[in-house]
Amino acid sequence: MTDSIHLTVGVVCEKDGKLLMVEEKDKFNGATVINQPAGHIEPGETFKQAALREALEETGYQLKLESLLGLSCYPAPNGVTYYRVSFLASCPDQLPATDIDDDIDAVHWMTTEEILSANNHRSKLVAMDVHRYLSGQRYPLEMISEAP
């Protein structure tokens, strides 16, 4: 498969000592995997807009971005190189009657230990973001310049 580039966002959201995670089917092999709320940036969308939209679509939670967690580059076994902008968010509100994306099987609050010991991560990016969160790595959102 020819290598291609995919620009994505991911969100780590902590509440009461647990992180917001989604359970979904891997489109390549059908296996059940866990991931942070994450997805592709759509044309015309900013990084921040994409992160908030993906979290809402996948979990029903309206998040508040607090900081930039980091940037990742992951050349996946499927031939795609994923570039991910990861955010840390607070989770003030779950919107009632929000339709969750059909690709999401379940939404879970998991401890970092549960996440890191799981053997069904969507990709290596899941553990990378959890380790960043645990290490206290944080950057101001102002590091991202978005033209009006």
Q: Is residue 30 part of a domain?
A: yes
What's the angle, vertex CA 105, arms to CA 8 and CA 43, rounded to 5?
25
Q: Is residue 74 part of a domain?
A: yes
Residue 15 domain boundaries: 4-143
Residue 148 lies in a domain: no
Please tell me the total count of domains within the chain.
Answer: 1
The predicted structure's pLDDT at residue 99:
79
CA atoms within 13 A on the CB side of 99: 3
pLDDT above 50 for 1: no
pLDDT tens-digit map of 3-58:
667 999 999 999 999 999 999 998 878 899 999 999 999 999 999 999 999 999 99
Percent of the chain's residues with pLDDT above 70: 95
CATH number at residue 58: 3.90.79.10
Higher pLDDT, 52 or 102: 52
